Amino acid sequence: MNLDFQISYLLPELFLVFGVVVLAFLGINKKFHGGALWVALAFLFFSACALIYYLPVEGEAFNGLYRKNTFGDFIKFLLLLNGAFLILFSKSKQKPKNPEFYALLCSSLWGGFVLVSTSYFPLFLVGLETLSLTTYALCAWQKETWQVEAALKYFFLGMLSSAIFIYGVALFYGATGSLFFGESFSGVPEKNLPLLLLGSLLILAGFSFKLGAAPFHFWMPDVIQNTSMTMAIFLLTLPKIALFTALHNFFYTPKPYPVLYFALLFLGSLSLLVGNAMAFLQKDFKGLFAYSSIAHSGFIFYLVSLQGMTVNFSLSYYLLVYSLSNLGIFAVLKNFSFSGKTLHLSDFKGLFYKHPGLSLLFSFFLISLAGIPFTPGFLSKLFLFLPVLNSGGWMFIAFALFSSAVAAIYYLKIIWFFFQKETDFQLQWDKPPILLKSVYYFAFIFSLLLTLWPEVLLIWLKHS
């Protein structure tokens, strides 16, 4: 393949790199800080245009180091959509964010792009650590004591998970003699299979740690509860999209050990159990969403244990609906200010009587996450359950349905507070900028379109 054509595969990533460089230079002079948001959005737009221009093209570049397909392109679009929403979400009426904030966000997007596109472990680790290191820095951005503490915990535990992952890669290489994953390992000598199994399990443990899945979840609630609202929604969406796609790519082809798939099903079941049980007990808003995110990870682990185009569609739809619902909820919440670092569920008492429109919008996103019928969340779970059921996993589906019922209770509990009359309304109305309004209105309209015409996404992915 022509070298120029291979480089064209990298144009979306190159625009993000250029964006990081330009934003870093803008940070030198304070008079340019006000326009940094628009510069960041412009480079995300250029990256999206490059994806669209080369959308029909599929193949490999640089001797297989980089792959391009419609499934990967969709995930990159989803990452860019989340990145753009987060940039708008960070818009403040007070002092604008420094350009370095947007530079770190673009760097994390670049790391996510690499995770989605490569099956070569050294390059994969570059993307993984780029995403991780920028996330650590963003968590401590506002320099509050509790945020710095949370970021340091996240950093040290993240380094531990990276060490586990790299050790797994070393064993994987020792067993296969290859640093590429996503291939059939039928040619691996039988004496090396135990080493391959151990390496793959350690890689899976590293993934689970980064994703905050049970039993490696203990860092996630603490970090999310002690970071800002902007970074809470970042942690709940963008890294998960990239990491679950990478995990899906790793397990896409048959492996010699069925125990690996049982390990995925075990992690999924445990994440559903721990996530929903702890979320049910929460009185803190961010704590509830941290644990519910662990439960949603459990659903996706079930799906990753399968293979084929149907899984690509189900995973894409689930990640899209999950991210839109979370972004919509936190964008609506950004309309209000509250004292302290903790937002209790009881603080929402009387929301419907003060702001009926926003409370109904809030409720729509909540019931979508709960998987109530006639919402995109219901369809996302349906598309997830069907391939698992077709593979004979009816016991796991029964457990997932029970877990969904528990999740519906704690999501509906928040809505119940909306309709309770309260003379002393706790949340203070903070008139939002138009850019912030565009986030939750777009999320709402797009969610409705996904409910009415989910087949549009299937048409996109038909060649993946």
Closest residue by Cα to residue 101 from 93, 116, 91? 91
Closest residue by Cα to residue 225 from 154, 131, 276? 154
What spatial distance separates the first Cα and last Cα of the chain, rounded to whole Å? 21
For residue 340, the model assigns a pLDDT of 56
Q: Give bridge partners of residue 54 from the DSSP assignment.
A: none
Closest residue by Cα to residue 165 from 115, 132, 200, 215? 200
Which two three-digit tokens encode residue 334?
């950004």
Distance CA 190, CA 74 (A): 38
Convert 122-145 to b/e letters by CB count within 10 Å (16 or more is b). Answer: ebbbbbbbbbbbbbbbbbbbeeee
Measure the CA dihedral 170/175/177/183, to 10°. Answer: -100
Phi-psi region of 181 (alpha: psi -120 to 50; beta: other; left: phi over 0): beta
> Across the 464 residues of the chain, what is the mean pLDDT of every consecutive 10-residue run?
70 95 85 82 95 81 84 94 90 68 95 94 96 92 78 90 95 91 73 90 94 91 88 93 93 73 92 96 94 95 77 90 95 78 84 90 96 92 87 87 95 93 70 81 92 77 54
For residue 371, the model assigns a pLDDT of 93
Distance CA 451, CA 228 (A): 31
Distance CA 139, CA 155 (A): 10
- Where would I find the H helices in 177-218? 193-211
Convert 178-198 to b/e letters by CB count within 10 Å (16 or more is b). Answer: eeebeeebeebeeebeebbbb
For residue 337, the model assigns a pLDDT of 74
238 contacts 79 by C-beta, under 8 angstroms: yes
Distance CA 110, CA 43 (A): 12
For residue 233, the model assigns a pLDDT of 92
367 contacts 304 by C-beta, under 8 angstroms: no
The H or E element spanning position 379 is helix 376-390
Give the 3-state secondary structure of residue 440: helix
For residue 186, the model assigns a pLDDT of 65
For residue 309, the model assigns a pLDDT of 54
Closest residue by Cα to residue 331 from 94, 84, 90, 109? 90
For the chain, the residue count is 464
Distance CA 255, CA 175 (A): 13
Closest residue by Cα to residue 408 from 445, 378, 387? 378
For residue 174, the model assigns a pLDDT of 92
Distance CA 88, CA 79 (A): 14
Which two three-digit tokens encode residue 339?
């004292």
In degrees and rounded to multiples of 5, residue 55 shows phi and psi of: -60, -45
**Where along the chain do its domains lie?**
3-463
